[in-house]
Amino acid sequence: MDETYVGGKEPGLAGGRAGAKKVLTGVAIEVVELRGFGGCRMMPLSDASATSLRAFVRDCIEPGATVITDGWQGYHGLNTLGYRHDRRSQGAAKARGQDPGELLSGVHLVASLANRLLLRTH
């Protein structure tokens, strides 16, 4: 799971940065072994705080599941809510010469497709 901004184009804001036309959105993708990705859940978030992110996790992810996130502080403590938490550091991936975008590739793909759909629809 990850959080991202979804919405319309805004001049001068590169890389999905927040603005008046964008909504912070939680995205969770089910990883299905040998098949790729399963179900997807998306929900608007009021902010990227631990309170908002934990509410999204409780609403969209089955207790006992492994939740894979980046190193954002708002995700700390998911293990106290009954989830296995697998934190993946984008900085460490970059230091190893890996593409940090590949750590949460399903979430990034869905967010990109949602933005593309919205830009072409509206």
Using an 8 Å Cβ cutoff, are 85 and 61 in contact?
A: no
CATH architecture of the domain formed by 2-121: 2-Layer Sandwich (3.30)
Measure the CA–CA gap between 23 and 17, rounded to whole angstroms.
10
Measure the CA–CA gap between 3 and 67, rounded to whole angstroms.
13
Mean pLDDT by 10 residues, the chain (122 residues): 79 56 87 77 93 95 92 92 89 76 76 79 58
Measure the CA–CA gap between 100 and 118, rounded to whole angstroms.
25
Residue 10: predicted pLDDT: 63
- Show me where the domains of the chain are located: 2-121
Residue 60: predicted pLDDT: 93
Measure the CA–CA gap between 46 and 25, rounded to whole angstroms.
9
Residue 89: predicted pLDDT: 77
